[in-house]
Chain A
Amino acid sequence: MTYRALELLNLPPDEPAFLLDIGCGSGLSGEILDEEGYNWIGVDVAPSMLEVALEREVEGDLFLQDIGQGFGFRPGSFDGAISISVIQWLLNAETSHPTSSPPHRLTRFFTTLHSALRNPSRAILQFYPTSDDQIQLITSIAQKAGFGGGVVVDYPNSKKAKKVFLCLFVGSGGQQIPKGLDGEDTEVQEGRAAFEKRREKSGKKDKNGKRRGIKDKDWILKKKELYRQRGKESVPRDSKYTARKRKPVF
Chain B
Amino acid sequence: MVRLITHNLLACHAKGCTTNNFPLQLKDVTIELREAEFNPDFVSGFLSRLEWTALVNAAKELGDTSLPPELPDMVDDDLLKNLHHVLLEIHIDEGSMICPNCGHSYPISNGIPNMLLAEHEIG
Contacts and interface: CB of A to CB of B under 8 A. Distances in A.
Nearest to A18: B46
Interface in B57-103: 88-89
Contact of B13 (A37, A72, A97): A72
A73 B115 CA distance: 11
Contacts of B37: 239, 241
B16 interface: no
B115 A54 contact: no
Interface in B23-50: 32-37, 39, 41-42, 45-46, 49
29 contacts: A15-B41, A16-B39, A18-B42, A18-B49, A59-B36, A61-B6, A62-B112, A64-B113, A65-B115, A66-B115, A66-B116, A69-B115, A69-B117, A72-B10, A72-B12, A72-B115, A73-B9, A74-B9, A74-B10, A99-B119, A239-B37, A241-B37, A246-B35, A247-B34, A247-B35, A248-B33, A249-B33, A249-B34, A250-B33
Contact of B112 (A18, A39, A50, A241): A50
A95 B35 CA distance: 44
A69 B111 contact: no
Interface of B: 1-3, 5-6, 9-13, 21-22, 32-37, 39, 41-42, 45-46, 49, 51, 88-89, 110-117, 119, 122-123
A18 B11 CA distance: 17
Given A61-B2, A99-B119, A77 B49 contact: yes
A45 B114 CA distance: 9
B3 A61 contact: yes
A137 B1 CA distance: 35
A112 B123 CA distance: 11
Nearest to A38: B42
A70 interface: yes
A71 interface: yes
Interface in A32-61: 37, 39, 41, 43, 45, 47, 50, 54, 59, 61
Nearest to A66: B116
A62 B117 contact: no
Given A43-B115, A64-B115, A246 B34 contact: yes
A248 B91 CA distance: 10
B110 A39 contact: no
B23 to A, nearest CB: 10
Contacts of A239: 37
A108 interface: yes
Contacts of A70: 13, 122-123
Given A62-B1, A73-B9, A54 B116 contact: no
A39 B36 CA distance: 10
Given A16-B41, A62-B111, A64-B113, A249 B11 contact: no
Given A16-B45, A54-B112, A72-B12, 11 more contacts: A15-B41, A16-B39, A41-B6, A50-B112, A64-B112, A65-B116, A76-B49, A108-B123, A246-B34, A249-B89, A250-B33
Interface in A1-19: 15-16, 18
Nearest to B6: A61
B115 A61 contact: no
A118 to B, nearest CB: 8
A16 B43 CA distance: 9
